[in-house]
Structure 1
Amino acid sequence: QGGIHAGGVNLMHLRAEQIVRHGVVLVPEGRQVFPELSVLDNIRLGAFLYPQDVEARVEEMLGRFPRLRERLHHRAGLLSGGEQQMLAIARGLMSRPRVLLLDEPSLGLAPKVIAELFAALDQLRRENMTIVLVDQMAALALSLADRAYVIEGGRVVAQGTAAEIAANDALAKAYLGAH
């Protein structure tokens, strides 16, 4: 029940490209890069609705994710999981979103790569990007979040500021793996 609105527009029955035009972009679980295309081509694909100044925006993404510059002409399918996640986020950012939806970005990544990825997400947050993050690594997600929602069985069972959720002992035991 309910709806999804951005800028006063109901997005529920729009096609994907229409939703992107309204500033909402999803970086899906599993990254879903185009494995046979180069890193550069994957990044450029994110600009398909906004082809102006593509090369300047590619350069911005390479500055944001320096690991990608080293692999720019490699096939995306040969990247590590963390590099593929960075590539998927860079591709999403190429469409100039107002809201970036991230589904399980830390899934299957090494701790060092997760730290690097979340540092990049924190930088986006400081640049006033609205990020909706769904991640089972709750403590890490809370470190980045302003607001948090705990969902169980498709229902919101708790909500509040990230600090309130993190400080709630009962929630920490039940959902955050605290002892």
Structure 2
Amino acid sequence: MTTETGGQRALVEEATKKSGLVWVDGQALWHVWVDGAMCVVGGGPGEQPLPALADGGAATVVVRSKDKGGRLVSWTADVALLPPGEQAWTAAVDELRGKRLNIPDLETVTERWARECQVFRLTPRGAPVESPGAMPDGSGAAVPVVTSATTRRPIPAGLPRLLLRRRGRRDTD
């Protein structure tokens, strides 16, 4: 594994801060950046599910470019569950509360998150797995599941005439 440089650390931090959505082990999550790490809340009623983080350990974070929308950087994170009430949990929740969209219970959300949800801190580990100039050739998209279902069928033979007839009526109105 290569060692991390200051520029790589800055890329991970800035890209993650600016992106409103990241993928953690294939799951899209909203997040905030607090004190050198990414923090997420979820797992409770009305919040984002966090199955990818439930076991802790390590995770791969994929960050998209804010302007182009494509994959910008991927990094490995050490995942830690923050216990409610600790200083790191409070700092993360203060930032998360400010970024949570459509929050139904602004006054009591901190207590609800402490009671019903989990807050995780994802700290970057080592050099990025992928970064500009070091991207894989493939798209990274999952291969579609083989199925007999289809959404594409030939259009009915009379449809073009029907559409032309309707268009003709509108033009004369």
Q: Scaled by the length of structure 1, what TM-score is found? A: 0.23
Larger RCO: 1 or 2 (CA < 8 Å, sep 6+): 2
* Larger radius of gyration between Structure 1 and Structure 2: 2
Question: Structure 1 or 2: larger strand share?
Answer: 2
Question: Structure 1 or 2: larger helix share?
Answer: 1
